[in-house]
Structures are given as structure tokens and as C-alpha cells.
Structure 1
């Protein structure tokens, strides 16, 4: 797919990417990507998770070197890809999602770090403060430069990073998801700064999932999918639906829905989980019911609140309001332990850091929640524990020579099945799944889908979230789409499309309807 015609403004090109590829072992993160960013404009880069946006920006910022292709900045080809060279020679700066600031040092010290006036050993501190104040003033920020950065909110810290880029005379600034942690008011404040930079002739590359802000800010839009450049538009000529189609344009015929994994569910069943106006950090006023044997998929961008919602249901994150009922009884877990006692299971998205116990065996991981069943007279009965683990491993087809084997020696798919075996040991009423097939191969995915189907056939209710939209559409009965912390709509999965879900998640549908 080539998309609409690429921008061809007569303005000078600030950044010219030609045939860029980046390989990580067998994985090709970027594949023959070409695009141009005209000088003094804002070029937006969009795409789903894993599309290659971050890799491209890391290359342009000098944090990664390309495997093939060229990058030309202001007419000069980049020969050396490192952050210092990109900033000092090519005047390219990055404003990352995770702001790298020295929290204990002052605003002025952070802004002028590496560009201090005076001798390096004895910089002129008065001039550091003066120059920092001038740069902040250019951004419309009246802030005491002597104040510690750690006292500032996220939006103001972001302005400090932008000022630091200007202190190094950056003429190309890359913004990577800059509004992901900002409130609407803070975002508008940032947009005003960005408009001012464009008026000053600064070229910007802007990565975002959010359609309204892309249309609010950018002059051109490029879309990446699966590491390839698949579309480009002048923003004034673009339609939100065209951009969404380019983002999700892969075919669905090979997705798991063809295997019939979505279970049939009786809409008349009493709710297993009833959520009313639930609020917490990252989400607000969420209302949803899940029936026994039903799978509710939660779709949304990384900052939509979907992950925080799942953690709150499991008691891992604090709730600030609202109610939940489990099989008609009040359910208000203050910790994961409370949820486990109520037979609520949680398969985390970060398996290695939040799921497995990496120093323990498969058997110990599988039986981590039921050790008391294997204790007699205060002693752990290893033979009983191993026998139980072997039975669960056979049931879930965990491929291991022995359950005494270290769990880290298993493949990702078999580690995930071992974690699932752990949760099945508590006979769950509700299973909460976050990125349930992340990091597993196609064969293991098919086995996991079958296991999830067997759970629903037993009447287990499932609340699942995944950044893999085709997967979520395939395993769910209904899809709750979240954006900016709220559920935008709940739609039957059989009637949902990738384009429709993405349009709601990015705000494209709302924007188009209210335009």
C-alpha cells in the first residue's frame, strides 16, 4: 500500500530519510523506509504499537544506527549515528516519553547541562541562570530557574527538556508521544509552545497515537505499519478514516477468529462481575458487566487507562471510587491477596518481571498459590507438590522435560501456560488477562487461545486487554474501547472492525462526527 501522494512542498527539506532499514537479529524493525520533513513544519508519524515509529525516531536522534539506508539533515548526510553528533553537528534533539532529567538539580542546571558558559571546571552560574530564564521566556514560561526540577509537574519538566534542546541550538526537535502523561490543559499549553517553535522556523517530527492533536498541529502525516512506510498526506487533505485504514491495513483472514475461538455467551446470564462508575489513577467512571463464560476485551492506546483498570479490578492498584460486585456480592479488593481469596486470577502483561519467579522451578511456580495444600506437620511435601505440578503441566501441555526444571529454561509460550496453570489451581471465577500472548510464537498462541476457550466453557468470566487488536477482536465477545481514561463505547466483537475500534481509541470518530 502506498497511501496518498507524499508531500512535495517547495520548501527546503530539513530531514530526508531514504531506504532506511534496521535489523535486530532476525527481526526487521524498519524496512526500506523513506520520508521527508520539510523545514519549518511539523511532520506527524503515526502507526500501531510495533509499527517502527520509536525505532525510526531513535535512529534520527542518534540512539540507534541503521542497518541500511541514509539520513540527510539540512542537506548533509549523517555519517555517524550517536546522540552527541546528531545534536552538535546536525542540530537534532529528542524530547522522549521518559524525561531524562536530574531531579535534584535546578531547572537552570538541567537546561544548560553540557552547554554551560565559562570554563568547564568553573562555569558562570549567574549566566547559567540568566540564559535559562531567557530560554524559558521564549517558551512563554515564567519559572524560577533556580527551582529544583523534582518539584515540577510532568508538563513543566517537559518544557525544561524543550528549553535544553534550544540551549544547544537544535533546529530539528523530535517529540515522542509528548502528551501521554499530560492533562488536556497541560497538552494545550504544550501545543502553544509547539506553535511558537514552528513560527520560529524549528522543524518538528511528532509521534502520536492521538488523531485530534495530529490534525491540530501537523502539516504532514506519515504512517508506518510493520516497519514499512505505507502512507503520506498533507494534513489539510487527509481524512481520519484513511489514516486509520493505513495503520491497521493488514488482512484478518489468518487471525485466530477463523479458528472459532470466540465462545457463545448467553446475554441473559446474571453478571459474574458488575462494575459501576469505577475510578482510579488513569481511568474514570468505568461501568461494565461480564457474564459467566463471557470475554470482555478492553481496547485502547497505551495511555488510555486500560492497564490501570485491570490492575484495579485485581486489587493491585488503588481505586478512588465506584463499586464492584462478584456474583452479586460486594467485591472491593484492597490487595491482590483479597482478589485471590475471591478466586479472581490475573495474568500480567510483563511476564518476566510480574509473573514468573525466575529463580524457581516450574513446579514451584505452578504451585506458588497452593503451597499450603502440600504442607504437613509444618513440612513441605515435595513429592506431593511435584505430582500436582506434573498433573497441571500435562493438562495444559507445558513442554518441559521435568517440572523440576528452571522456569526460565522454557519458551515464552510454555512459561505463559505454566502461569495459567498456577491460576487454574485456585478454580477462578474471573480471569483478568493483560497481553495474554505477548512474546509467544504462533503455535503457542493457538494453544493459549484454546485454553482461554476451555475456561469460558467452564463458565469462567474473562476481562482481557491486548495491544494486538486482531487478537482482541478474535477472543472477545464484546469490546470496551477506552480513550483518555474512559470507556467510549462497548460493542459486540462480531460487529467491530479494527478501523472502527482504532477510530474510537484515537478520537478520530469523535473528531469527524463533531467537525
Structure 2
């Protein structure tokens, strides 16, 4: 059970890192990092992908050990870096991006795993449920302790992991990209819990690329760049532009401008035309996308926006309507058909649907174009390496060598490598789902730059994203889906987050109905 010891003393130092370095062979992930974290604060740690944030968090959680330097937690030196020691002795808990939950166990069993009342073999079920309910109540969360965790959504899964950390009397809770897979509504619910913990005096380290939530939640911001600690400010004393400049070492305002703006003249043949297109999760979609146009697709998680992209690509079947590509009927019965037609699809779940984890950066990039580099049935390895190196340079993928394993790259650089894979087929239509999820502001600017280059060459881009500011930034028009139907198409110059959400949630129809009723009366 949580005790008062969890709450930190204001003004004290919760974490003191001194001269911390970490080398992976010739790669230097951290170099002489020195920083303090105030007790009882929510401190954000920001930086580009590959800046060293994940390495630092893994060391603090005991998942890795430093090459040099020291860590003190609550003024006690950490002498053994392993998760059990950091949790039991130093009370450090990590809430990772990939949640480690037992899907077939109950909420209470997951929260109290390893700390069950009674014994692990014969736990006291009633007391377990009561203790779990108390912890959930502290977080303001209404969950049945007896519910199966596999039936929870991602947001509630994170809350279960947070409750687990409280069950172990955590003094320091590390939150690694906690909103990367959450909808706006789920994120808001999580923010309420985080604010409650912050107000209760729990020390938190918060890793995120999302500037608005960092400025809304944190009291301090630390910035890493290229493995070095380059800045620390009270959040109230710094601006987002100053943080971005510290992260990337340059101003990015111009690089984050609108990606589109090169759409073909009215009356020209659309690159993609959908007429009454119906499939799993969407019905009767009518939408045109011109060459050189970026069309954003917005909607709640159950709106059908992801399924629509998968249907066009042939990953899921289209059961009705007509698709045309450059004026010719197009039906992708499988992704292979789409790739032959030079249609690209970047999935939102990078780790599970995109990356080939056991292969190198070069092999991940070249996997779709191996046939071009064959002679008499043999692969021309040198030519493939040149192809990969060229794409790595084009997208500025940070890697020591294209032969490096792709899982050794940061998330943002993995994403750029996947984009390089699709550029290799010289696409005429790109379908992108959450293209900058988990990507830092520097990599995001580079991806937007790529969008601008592609649309200038006449490539049509369809972007599905839960990040409304991003859609408003990159799109020429925004198509809004709700319950599988297209409910509106907005010009991005005139759209706002409010108008998009009004369509996505049905609020516009409620207002329209109320207005009509008022006129009749």
C-alpha cells in the first residue's frame, strides 16, 4: 500500500546525476551528463530522437548501467543498476511506452503483482481487490479491480501501471511518452491523474515530444542534445521556441510551415478518386485527392480513418464502390497490387507493422526493391548498399552505418528509415498513418520538408493523424470521418481544432439541430 513516504519533501533533490556517460561500443549515447531533479516536481526531459533520453531513463530505472558517472536518489548512491534494486531500494518505477501487463490477469492482480497480500501461490483475493480499489481511488480512476486487463483500452492500461508503481511506494515515477498512443480524450484523463500525483508531491520525470502537454504539466524542463545536457529552465521562464532551439541547435519555425500548397488546378484528373467506397469500418466514402495535394484525415479512434487507408492499400478488403488512380479503375486486392501501382502505406504501429526488427537499416530500406538489384538470381549487395546509403543521406537518418541493426536506432530514425523504404518505389500516392508519432521536433521538421519535396514533384499524400495541430499544419484540406462516414471536408486555411472536433464528435449536427428547432419555434 502507498504510504506517506511516497511524498517528497519540497526543496529537496530527488535525483542527482553527475558526470554520467554511456557507450555502446563506438557509439556514445550519453556524455558527461550532470543534472538534478527537484523532489516533488514534474520535470520534463526533452530532446531529439537519439539525444539520449531513453538511455538516461533506462539507467535511472535500472534497465541499463552507466559507463561512467554516478546517480544518487534521495541522496543515496545507486550502487547496483537493475530494475529490482531500483524499485525495492530506491523506489523508482517506470511507465514505459510498451506496457508490461498480464492481459489474462485482473486489474488487481496486475497492480499488486509481486506484492500480493497473503502469498503469490495463495493470495488473499478480497484484500487484493480492496487494496487495488484504494490505489485506483487515489488516482480518481473508476475501474473494477476484478476486470480482465486484456479488455482495457491503452489509457486504462497506463493507469494500471501507474497504480502498480504506487503499490510499491514509488518515490520517483518515470513516464516515457505516455500519450503517444492515446486519443485526445484519453490523454486528458491521464493528465488529470498526473496532476493529482504532482499535487500530492510525487516526483515525476516526463519524457515527451509534445510541447503543449510539457508546458501544461511540467515545472522544470531539461534538454539533451547529442547525448549531452544542454539546458535546464523552470517551465515558466522559457518559451517553446527556446526549448526547440536548444533541442536541435537551430531555429525551426520556417521548417514547420505548411507542407502542401502544390495541388493541381481545378478540373484536372485526381490522383486518387473514391466513389461510394465501402469496407471494414467505413461506408460510402466520396473523396478526391489531387497530384501534389496533402489531404489530412481526422476522426476519433473508431471513426474508420485508419481502416480507410488500409482499404485503399489493399491490406483490408474493399467491399463496394469504385477507386480510381489517375483516372483508371484501381482495386488493390493485396498490398502487392498497391506497391506495383506505386502506392505506399506507412502504418501507425511502427514496431509491430513496419520495422523488420532482426534486419539492418539497409535491408529495411531495400526490402521492396530487391528485384531491381538482382543479376542472374543473385543480389548485387554493393548496389543495394549504395541505394540504402543514398536514402539514409536524403532523409538524414542518424546511424553509424546502414549495416547497423534498425532496432539500435531511435524511434524517429526508425520512422525515417521506413519512409526511405517507400521512397524507393517512387510513389505517386502515399498513405501515411500517424507519420510523426513518437518523433521529436527536429525529425518532424525533416519529415515535413520531405512532404514539401514530394508534393512539389506531384506526389499525392493522404495523412491520417490524431494530432490535430499537425493536420492543420501539413494539409491542404482535412476530411473528417465519424462512425465510418465522411461528415465534412474543410479547407485547412479556414479550419480550426474546434471545427474539426465539432465534426468528428457530432457536435456540429447537435448545434444545427438546435438551431433548426429554435427557428421552428
Aligned to 1:61: 61
The alpha-carbon distance between structure 1 residues 438 and 338, as it changes in their structure 2 partners (threshold 3 A), is: farther
Does residue 233 (structure 1) correspond to residue 216 (structure 2)? The answer is no
Cα distance, 1:225 vs structure 2: 2.2
Does residue 488 (structure 1) correspond to residue 472 (structure 2)? The answer is yes
Aligned to 2:315: 316
Query: 1:266-281 counterparts in 2 under 5 A?
Result: 271-273=270-272
Aligned to 2:327: 328
In structure 2, distance between residues paired with 1:72 and 1:183: 36
The alpha-carbon distance between structure 1 residues 172 and 40, as it changes in their structure 2 partners (threshold 3 A), is: same
Cα distance, 1:97 vs structure 2: 1.0
Query: Is the Cα contact below 8 Å between 1:278 and 1:286 reproduced in 2?
Result: yes
Cα distance, 1:169 vs structure 2: 0.7
Say which of 348, 351, 356 aligns to 1:352: 356
Aligned to 1:109: 109
Query: Is the Cα contact below 8 Å between 2:105 and 2:148 reproduced in 1?
Result: yes
Query: Is the Cα contact below 8 Å between 1:297 and 1:477 reproduced in 2?
Result: no
In structure 2, distance between residues paired with 1:322 and 1:224: 51
Query: Is the Cα contact below 8 Å between 1:480 and 1:488 reproduced in 2?
Result: no
In structure 1, distance between residues paired with 2:41 and 2:201: 8
Normalised TM-score (structure 1): 0.65
Deviations along 1:53-94, whole A, 9 cap, x unmatched? 212111111111111221111001111111000000000000
In structure 2, distance between residues paired with 1:339 and 1:108: 46
Does residue 217 (structure 1) correspond to residue 217 (structure 2)? The answer is yes
Cα distance, 1:273 vs structure 2: 4.1
Aligned to 1:244: 244
Aligned to 2:413: none
Q: CA RMSD in A?
A: 5.2
In structure 2, distance between residues paired with 1:166 and 1:61: 15
The alpha-carbon distance between structure 1 residues 324 and 176, as it changes in their structure 2 partners (threshold 3 A), is: farther
In structure 2, distance between residues paired with 1:417 and 1:455: 16
Query: 1:439-458 counterparts in 2 under 5 A?
Result: 441=401
Cα distance, 1:107 vs structure 2: 1.2
Aligned to 2:202: 202
In structure 1, distance between residues paired with 2:169 and 2:152: 24
Query: 1:402-441 counterparts in 2 under 5 A?
Result: 404-405=377-378, 413-414=385-386, 416=388, 441=401
Cα distance, 1:47 vs structure 2: 2.0
Query: Is the Cα contact below 8 Å between 1:20 and 1:34 reproduced in 2?
Result: yes
In structure 1, distance between residues paired with 2:52 and 2:318: 35
Query: Is the Cα contact below 8 Å between 2:294 and 2:463 reproduced in 1?
Result: no
Deviations along 1:20-44, whole A, 9 cap, x unmatched? 2221222222222222211111001
Cα distance, 1:150 vs structure 2: 1.2
In structure 2, distance between residues paired with 1:279 and 1:90: 55
- Count of matched residue pairs: 417
The alpha-carbon distance between structure 1 residues 337 and 366, as it changes in their structure 2 partners (threshold 3 A), is: closer
Cα distance, 1:206 vs structure 2: 0.7
Does residue 40 (structure 1) correspond to residue 22 (structure 2)? The answer is no
Cα distance, 1:168 vs structure 2: 0.7
Q: 332-341 vs 136-145, which deviates more?
A: 332-341
In structure 2, distance between residues paired with 1:18 and 1:41: 19
Aligned to 2:94: 94
Query: Is the Cα contact below 8 Å between 1:412 and 1:439 reproduced in 2?
Result: no
The alpha-carbon distance between structure 1 residues 437 and 320, as it changes in their structure 2 partners (threshold 3 A), is: farther
Aligned to 2:77: 77
Does residue 473 (structure 1) correspond to residue 457 (structure 2)? The answer is no
Normalised TM-score (structure 2): 0.64
In structure 1, distance between residues paired with 2:125 and 2:294: 58
Secondary structure class of the residue paired with 1:49: coil
Cα distance, 1:48 vs structure 2: 2.4
Deviations along 1:390-443, whole A, 9 cap, x unmatched? xx43xxxx8xxx765578x77974574999xxxxxxxxxxxxxx9796868589
In structure 2, distance between residues paired with 1:63 and 1:326: 49
Aligned to 1:25: 25
Query: Is the Cα contact below 8 Å between 2:109 and 2:128 reproduced in 1?
Result: yes
Aligned to 1:134: 134
In structure 2, distance between residues paired with 1:282 and 1:66: 48
Could you list the runs of 5+ residues in structure 1 that have no partner in the other structure?
Answer: 1-8, 256-264, 368-388, 420-433, 493-508
In structure 1, distance between residues paired with 2:26 and 2:277: 43
Cα distance, 1:271 vs structure 2: 4.5
Secondary structure class of the residue paired with 1:352: coil
Aligned to 2:181: 181
Cα distance, 1:461 vs structure 2: 6.2
Deviations along 1:358-381, whole A, 9 cap, x unmatched? 99xx9x9857xxxxxxxxxxxxxx
Aligned to 2:488: none
The alpha-carbon distance between structure 1 residues 239 and 166, as it changes in their structure 2 partners (threshold 3 A), is: same
Cα distance, 1:118 vs structure 2: 2.8
In structure 1, distance between residues paired with 2:119 and 2:222: 44
Cα distance, 1:141 vs structure 2: 2.1
